[in-house]
Amino acid sequence: MPGLKRLLVVVTALLAGCTGCALQQSRGTYRLSEINSQYFLLSPDAGTSQGDHQRLRIPRSRESSKRAPAMDCSIKGPWFSFYPAPGNERDWIAETPSAAAWERSSGAIDMKDQWQSFESALYQLQQRQCFASPDEYFSARQRIAASLSAPAPDTLFYRYAYGPGGYVDLAPGMQLRIERDFFSSHSSGQPRPADYQGTTITNYEIAGSAESGTTLKFLGMEKKSTALTTLGSTSSDARLATQFAAAPRLRLFLLNLVVSENAKNPAILIGASTTEDLNEATQAIESDPGISCTSLLRWQVTCALFDGLVTVSPMLEVVVNGKPTYIPIGSRLSFIIPRVTNSQQATLMRTLRVERRFQGRLVAIKIAPNSDELSQLLLFGGDRVSWSRTVEVKK
């Protein structure tokens, strides 16, 4: 018994003095965690961290496992790796940076560039038929992206490619909102308020799946002025579903203001049948933001240019207290938290619950009930947010 007591004392001391305890979490949850003044969203796979890497197993199809001996189906990188499990034909192994390694590399390594290189290498494995089908490839890519324990401000980049490139990959569960203003004056200068005729708002649902591809489903056009009664469904904004019917991969380049030239580059929607065609056209647009749709034809893409006084916004569907709601991509949890009376604030924070889909099921996102963490969490499509219905929202 004395020896057991001494052992318990040692274990207790080790636990009390452990470093990196902020990374510990129960399996099956996301957790927003602050590491050296930087917030990270730890995935349910964070518990698999070994040193600088998280390691996860991804089931393989029987067909792809038979191909492994005949070809090299491995990616070995300093931060992201992917390879058949040694001595096990049933699994892939994926390695991604742990949050601690991610934090230490901050400022020295462009992790977004490392991820894009990894995505390109993973696509090359698909081209070499290391996967039995495109479905297996997309499923593996989604699984890896969902496992990342990345800096909180960058999470939308790894899910939707939303970030420094100025574009968004449209995904099932989104809506596309096109808001176009009309003025009677045709001068190149700033339109005058007196010349305003009205606004049309055109909405599309992004349907399909990441594996089979996405499609645009026209939901309708709303007119905000009777002066626009002559504008009907023949508007170019209302024909996108037909125009992009044969393009299952969709990418929207957002409106970009080029300050040096005081010029505005309009939003561009491109679609392609393969990721390779989409990426090649993306490189062309990044090299020349003012490129025309005609110039993009050589890259086998469908293209729509949203010129004029128009705003094109990808909208994410989240469920708030049981009600589906669409919010602009880039919205944070604090965006949908209501203004409440001081007496209700404690109740709201105590009952606040946020859930995100992981591996086909909803798992909790653990956050501290304070304004800092509410403003750090970026919302994904499909997230569910709820709080006590007894909370009274301020008018």
Rounded CA Rg of the chain: 24
Instruction: Please list the alpha-helical segments (H only) found in the chain.
Output: 2-16, 62-67, 99-105, 111-127, 134-147, 155-160, 240-243, 275-287, 333-336, 342-351, 371-374
Using CA atoms, how far residue 30 sits from 104, 153, 250, 376, in Å, is 21, 15, 28, 14
CB 388 within 8 A of CB 321: no
CB 264 within 8 A of CB 289: no
pLDDT tens figures, 21-47 = 434 444 589 999 999 989 999 999 998
Helices (H) and strands (E) in the chain, counts: 11, 20
Residue 64 has pLDDT above 60, yes or no: yes
Under the banding of pLDDT at 50, 70 and 90, the label for residue 368 is confident
d(C-alpha 149, C-alpha 98), whole Å: 6
Phi/psi-derived region of residue 213, left when phi > 0, alpha when psi is between -120 and 50, beta in every other case: left
Residue 257 has pLDDT above 50, yes or no: no
Secondary structure (3-state) at 259? helix
Mean pLDDT of the chain: 84
Q: List 385's β-bridge partners, or say none.
A: 320, 354
Q: What percent of the chain has pLDDT over 70?
A: 85
d(C-alpha 349, C-alpha 229), whole Å: 47
pLDDT tens figures, 294-352 = 999 888 899 999 988 889 999 999 999 999 999 999 999 999 988 888 788 888 888 99
pLDDT tens figures, 87-112 = 877 899 999 999 999 999 987 899 99
Centre a 10 Å sphere on the Cβ of residue 59 and count the other Cβ atoms it contains. 12
